Chain A
Amino acid sequence: AQSVTQPDIHITVSEGASLELRCNYSYGATPYLFWYVQSPGQGLQLLLKYFSGDTLVQGIKGFEAEFKRSQSSFNLRKPSVHWSDAAEYFCAVEPYNNNDMRFGAGTRLTVKP
């Protein structure tokens, strides 16, 4: 079955530390891949997306993600986390041949001072 999995429900990191949020998908062909961030009481904001080409994608706010076809993964990374990065992060996938976007369950990020 087609699915997208974020294995970590909640992650806590110290400010200034590096961050990696995991995302795995199960689709027959490589779908479009996205990372969104949602702050409390807000809608979702797109951080970055992957359609094709270079497997390392740069996004806003210093985030990047790497697509690894062999692992069906699209992990989000940031070298140095800021307190303002505390939010919920969603990985999303959409098959290239239809418009049914599926979201992962989300990973809540807490940043310690």
Chain B
Amino acid sequence: KAGVTQTPRYLIKTRGQQVTLSCSPISGHRSVSWYQQTPGQGLQFLFEYFSETQRNKGNFPGRFSGRQFSNSRSEMNVSTLELGDSALYLCASSLGLQGRNEQFFGPGTRLTVL
């Protein structure tokens, strides 16, 4: 069974631009969560989608948004990029909502904002 895949793996953008990251969950998994990982702030929860609906959201500004499609694939969008958005963005999928359901993480997308 294929694992969680994230595309692209690496991305370089400039301030003010927007970016879209993609996550394909493990087949059969209906929940997708997104995390931001930085050296300064560590791992922080962005949001979780389940059955195309955002079920939970972390403490991030509205520039960070996401969506989930009917096939459970998810995209995350960041608008008006800032230097501080440079991070590793991790996607995780699970059968059901996170918590009692084990999350499987993808390798991440490394975003660099210049």
Binding site for B on A (CB under 8 A): 32, 36, 41-46, 49, 51, 90, 92, 94, 96, 98-106
Does any Cβ of A come within 8 Å of B98's Cβ?
Answer: yes
* Given A100-B56, A104-B42: 13 more A-B contacts, CB < 8 Å: A32-B100, A36-B105, A43-B90, A43-B92, A43-B108, A44-B92, A49-B102, A94-B99, A99-B97, A100-B58, A102-B45, A103-B43, A106-B42
The CA-CA distance from A101 to B35 in the complex, in Å, is 10
A51 near B107: Cβ-Cβ < 8 Å: no
Does any Cβ of A come within 8 Å of B65's Cβ?
Answer: no
The CA-CA distance from A106 to B40 in the complex, in Å, is 11
The CA-CA distance from A103 to B97 in the complex, in Å, is 17
The CA-CA distance from A24 to B87 in the complex, in Å, is 26
For the residues of B in contact with A, the DSSP-based class is strand
Does any Cβ of A come within 8 Å of B4's Cβ?
Answer: yes
Nearest Cβ on chain B to A88's Cβ, whole angstroms:
10
Binding site for A on B (CB under 8 A): 4, 33, 35, 42-45, 48, 55-56, 58, 90, 92, 97-100, 102-108
A to B CB contacts below 8 Å, 12 in the list: A43-B106, A46-B102, A49-B102, A51-B100, A92-B43, A94-B99, A96-B99, A99-B55, A100-B56, A101-B33, A101-B99, A106-B42
A104 surroundings in chain B (CB, below 8 A): 42
The CA-CA distance from A92 to B97 in the complex, in Å, is 16
Residues A101 and B98 in contact in the complex (CB < 8 Å), given A42-B107, A43-B4, A46-B103 = yes
Residues A99 and B43 in contact in the complex (CB < 8 Å), given A43-B107, A44-B90, A45-B105 = no
